[in-house]
Homo-oligomer: A and B are copies of this chain.
């Protein structure tokens, strides 16, 4: 992948311009929590520019798994709004933690170190819109999230490129 990265990056850096002087604090005081899914280009689909917003991504766009980052974002870097964005056709509705643990351990039954996977909750969910609402509620009620934060929830449709607010 190195050669491909280098070639694309040369073009990007050549047109970098004044972006090199951007401050560390996000201009929109916004943190976005979304899925790692390869089909999601967060900046492009929301019109987010360099310097605008923290973008936190993990499998599912799970708020619980983003808490460490959110606290740093809010307390040290001044964000006050959180947008949670999950998406259609997400892998997180297609498995359950016990199955994945068994898959990992079964890949090499002779390796006792794989039992460490039993300590991991993979945080899958069953229903897309409900998962967004649950995560928004979880953040709104979490004492470690700054009081007065605006927390919204969205669904992105990987089939159409459209995003819609659900809460």
Contact = CB atoms under 8 A, between A and B. Distances in A.
Interface of A: 1-2, 4-9, 11-13, 15-16, 19-20, 22, 24-28, 30-31, 36-41, 43-59, 65-69, 71-73, 75-77, 81, 83, 89, 91-92, 94-95, 100, 103-104, 107-108, 111, 113-114, 116-117, 120-123, 143-144, 146-147, 152, 154, 158-163, 165
A153 to B, nearest CB: 11
Contacts of A66: 58
For A44, A52, A161, the residue with the greatest tally of chain B CB atoms inside 10 Å of its CB is A161
A38 B58 contact: no
Contacts of A94: 76
A66 B122 CA distance: 11
Number of copies: 2
A144 B161 contact: no
Contacts of A37: 24, 54
A45 to B, nearest CB: 5
A123 to B, nearest CB: 7
For A46, A57, A108, the residue with the greatest tally of chain B CB atoms inside 10 Å of its CB is A57
18 contacts: A1-B30, A1-B152, A2-B165, A5-B165, A9-B45, A19-B161, A20-B159, A27-B38, A36-B54, A40-B55, A55-B57, A57-B58, A58-B66, A65-B69, A72-B100, A76-B91, A77-B91, A111-B143
